[in-house]
Structure 1
């Protein structure tokens, strides 16, 4: 009988994948399907509303589809899985427990990707008062659920483990990148083209730290031409003095996405992640880091722990402190080393950090083929 694995997503998969949290469940499902096809393994995806999950689960049980499960990989959401139905009221609140009890009885190893703990940080969590107390209690129940039913807790980074109160082995997973093969256009030797893609109206993202660094790096001669890609509405909302700072710095502002953004990546030499160091930024892996590296762009990033680990481990770029002087120095150093860093990315990024690498890591950890 053909071996099978179960992907358990206790939520509806988003039709429009317009953020990292919506992209990941789709991409890892695709990678599991490709890996399963190559290895003769059936991949079963159990997802949807609690009612849909219950119907499918009992049907598969009756058909014997779950009799030969090898392991189960589960994803969680930013809200506890009991609340993922429309209106946050579960139609079948016990289905998740039924599925996990079934797997436990069958001794099927289970790993959950625990994606975020922003709810543990008062400055990040928007709820106040009694609502906040109730929600935090439900989050803690979710952690207890994973402790009872899961064998391994998969994390976006090792640094996040300090904030997860689950007494189970914790394993960071590769971030899930792609190899976007393209032809990078070469810049003139002097001035290189730098890129920043992301939010511009949150101090934490460090855009104006980057502008300060840029003016230092370009003081004696133009070393970096900066292009910023942001949402049009965010640009409109920028205060007049910040807009004029962008203009004074000679920055190009674009509002592109999809294919137009992919083309822009090919025209750039390297990219920036200038986030300020904080407890939260230390353990989160920015989606943009993965996107830059997938497009073979070396990165200048601040010394937040998780992004620093990925960039330094295989020399994909330069790490600086979150101040203008340190970042300006990194810009000057990067100009001589762009080709070296790009060749490192080409050599190992897809092999070590792709969606397929993530699937292989899940399998080898859950089947105890490697030490945790």
Structure 2
């Protein structure tokens, strides 16, 4: 299977945030034995991006991949040559699948910006979607509820393609470690710093539970400023270091503030956690809650400090529940691997009749 894989990131860089998914999909294609031709490069590096796309346009004059899969940027296509590339692939009758990841522009109240900039971006998003209607054989969304935002478009086929997880699952009973992990942002929306306050309360009189907290360095968060015996604060995207932390984690925590956007979200970390066989404590954002309840792989709480604290204390108190959640997390991880996501892309696009 020869795949033309269009991305908007730089490969061989630190894998973090929005770049993690394109890397993992690529690795999964390779694991499946596919021959993958990559288009890479950030679109804000316009000259470099255009040259790379021109190289692929020339490559297509002499090559015809079996399918094309696209992991778009966060935001619209800034360079018209990327839309030209999609149109050429479509004209060659090569099946195209595209993962539509960005709906921030539909939630101005949550992600405010300059009005003129907002209107320009909305125009560009709608332009892109009209092109996708014409040329893409499959449009994938992160979740069912996310897809409903675009029900007014007449895509040829749609599907749900949430993130995946690792196949390296930790199955040992580490309940006695009472160690929790959080990886993510520090803004109010992500709830990370609120989580530190929760563990301050829990460990007020003596050390009851420990927390590994991994985040980018921001104005609000410098790891060296948080010196507590129960806290391991880190700034790293090193895969081996993070995997070592996963191996000793009893539970992982997703403390998102619930809102309309996070109700639609299935974050990559949820699947990464269960991929390593780690049960999850999460606030009750709709899609995350549905996933955790379906697999019975963790504990749901509300998005306030007291409820998160109660959930952590509940987790600390019940080893039998932990073992049950862990078995379920392992099963959820097996059913939601990156390889299974890549295989579904191949199966869908291979079945397209042009």
Q: Closer, same or farther in 2 for the Cα pair 1:231/1:33, shift >3 Å?
A: closer
Name the structure 1 match of 2:46: none
Alpha-carbon distance in structure 1 between the residues aligned to 2:55 and 2:217: 43
Structure 2 matches for 1:78-157, cutoff 5 A?
78-81=74-77, 83=78, 90=79, 93-94=80-81, 96-97=83-84, 99-125=85-111, 127-157=113-143
Can you list the C-alpha shifts for 1:69-110, whole angstroms capped at 9, x where unaligned? Answer: 4332112101322x2xxxxxx4xx34533x433443444322
Shift of 1:212: 6.4
Structure 2 matches for 1:171-186, cutoff 5 A?
171-182=159-170, 184=172, 186=174
Alpha-carbon distance in structure 1 between the residues aligned to 2:3 and 2:325: 38
Is the 1:303–1:320 contact (alpha carbons within 8 Å) kept by the matching residues of 2?
A: yes
Alpha-carbon distance in structure 2 between the residues aligned to 1:58 and 1:208: 49
Q: Closer, same or farther in 2 for the Cα pair 1:155/1:227, shift >3 Å?
A: same
2:68 aligned with 1:72: yes
Can you list the C-alpha shifts for 1:321-345, whole angstroms capped at 9, x where unaligned? Answer: 2234443443344332222211222
Shift of 1:199: 2.6
The runs of 5 or more residues in structure 1 that have no matched partner are 84-89
Structure 2 matches for 1:160-175, cutoff 5 A?
160-164=146-150, 166-168=153-155, 169-175=157-163
Shift of 1:12: 4.9
Structure 2 matches for 1:275-354, cutoff 5 A?
275-335=256-316, 336=318, 337-349=321-333, 351-354=334-337
Alpha-carbon distance in structure 2 between the residues aligned to 1:74 and 1:208: 35
Can you list the C-alpha shifts for 1:144-176, whole angstroms capped at 9, x where unaligned? Answer: 111111122111222211223532243111412
Aligned residues: 337
Name the structure 2 match of 1:33: 30
SS of residue matched to 1:57: helix
Alpha-carbon distance in structure 2 between the residues aligned to 1:301 and 1:210: 11
SS of residue matched to 1:177: coil
Name the structure 2 match of 1:86: none
Structure 2 matches for 1:161-240, cutoff 5 A?
161-164=147-150, 166-168=153-155, 169-182=157-170, 184=172, 186-188=174-176, 192-200=178-186, 202-207=187-192, 209-210=194-195, 224-231=209-216, 233-234=218-219
Alpha-carbon distance in structure 1 between the residues aligned to 2:148 and 2:87: 28
SS of residue matched to 1:127: coil
Higher helix proportion, which one?
1
Alpha-carbon distance in structure 1 between the residues aligned to 2:210 and 2:9: 42
Shift of 1:50: 2.5
Shift of 1:358: 0.7
Alpha-carbon distance in structure 1 between the residues aligned to 2:215 and 2:71: 29
Name the structure 2 match of 1:42: 35
Q: Under a length normalisation based on structure 2, what TM-score does the superposition of the two structures give? A: 0.81
Q: Under a length normalisation based on structure 1, what TM-score does the superposition of the two structures give? A: 0.78
Q: Closer, same or farther in 2 for the Cα pair 1:60/1:108, shift >3 Å?
A: closer
SS of residue matched to 1:281: coil
Alpha-carbon distance in structure 2 between the residues aligned to 1:47 and 1:236: 31
Shift of 1:218: 7.2
Shift of 1:267: 2.1
The runs of 5 or more residues in structure 2 that have no matched partner are 42-48
Alpha-carbon distance in structure 2 between the residues aligned to 1:183 and 1:70: 39
Is the 1:146–1:166 contact (alpha carbons within 8 Å) kept by the matching residues of 2?
A: no
Structure 1 outlier segments of 4+, above 6 Å: 215-222
Choose 1 or 2 for highest CA Rg.
1
Is the 1:228–1:252 contact (alpha carbons within 8 Å) kept by the matching residues of 2?
A: yes
Is the 2:180–2:209 contact (alpha carbons within 8 Å) kept by the matching residues of 1?
A: yes
SS of residue matched to 2:182: strand
Alpha-carbon distance in structure 2 between the residues aligned to 1:12 and 1:203: 27
